[in-house]
Amino acid sequence: MTIDFSKYADGLVPAIIQDASTAKVLMLGFMNEEALLKTKELQKVTFYSRSKNRLWTKGEQSGNFLLLKSISVDCDNDTLLIKADPVGPVCHSGADTCFNEINRSIHFLSELENIIADRKNNPSDQSYTSSLFKKGINKVAQKVGEEAVELVIEAKDDNADLFKDEAADLLFHYLILLHAKGFVLQDVIGVLQKRHRMD
């Protein structure tokens, strides 16, 4: 679909900005055709500022850019949905979003994966997760095996709390293994979804 800028007298269309990871709506801005082209060129969300009467790349002064991930057009071809990765707070007030909401995923596993990725990319000597990545893939894989065995052992008993603890340990270390191999949980979910469609 192609956006129809002529639907509005001023040639501006609404652009809803959504966090690509958390799905949280971050802000609403307006784009003309030039702003949309600039967004694609820079891979940073650029609006037409009605107050400044010019193109305005979000973050051009603060450094809190919106890094472009995807662009969709609605069914009437007159509104954009732009998914982006925010660099810092989005609102000029310092809030995560212009609606004063905390930009947090409603899906905890997604949030946990972001933390795991951060521990991998920005290692800390105080982080258990960083220490596992540092030890290498063999150690991470071994740890997953150990946790799997402990879960199986707990499955044979009737202590629900211990079973859940071991299940959580296994899931956590499994996510670390996925990241160590360069994958995320969604990659595995995609395989399951493909199998389900074939079933």
Tens of pLDDT, residues 6-19: 999 999 999 999 99
pLDDT(193) > 80: yes
Q: 151 with 159: CB under 8 angstroms?
A: no
Residue from 108, 95, 147, 137 nearest 21 by CA: 108
The three-point CA angle 128-188-176 to 5° equals: 5
For the chain, give the longest Cα–Cα distance.
70
- pLDDT > 70 in the chain, percent: 98
Residue range 107-123: average pLDDT?
90
Within 10 A of 22 (CB to CB), how many other CB atoms are there? 21
Q: How confident is the model at residue 199 (pLDDT cuts 50, 70, 90)?
A: low
Residue range 127-145: average pLDDT?
97
Q: Which residues of 48-83 are buried (b: 16+ CB within 10 A; e: fewer)?
A: beeeeeebbbbbeeeebbbebeebeeeeeeebbebb
Inter-CA distances, 141 with 75, 130, 135, Å:
46, 15, 11
Distance separating alpha carbons of residues 94 and 138, to the nearest angstrom? 42
Q: How confident is the model at residue 124 (pLDDT cuts 50, 70, 90)?
A: very high
Please state the pTM of the whole predicted model: 0.60
Residue range 160-167: average pLDDT?
97
Residue range 80-106: average pLDDT?
92
pLDDT(1) > 80: no
Residue-wise pLDDT for 39-75, tens only, equals 999 999 999 999 999 999 999 999 999 999 999 999 9
Residue range 12-35: average pLDDT?
95
Residue range 136-142: average pLDDT?
97
Residue from 31, 72, 79, 82 nearest 55 by CA: 31
Structure token digits, residue 159: 């202590």
| pLDDT in the model for residue 30 | 97
Within 10 A of 178 (CB to CB), how many other CB atoms are there? 19
Average pLDDT of the residues of the chain: 94
Q: 83 with 73: CB under 8 angstroms?
A: no
| pLDDT in the model for residue 22 | 85
Beta bridge partner(s), residue 31: 13
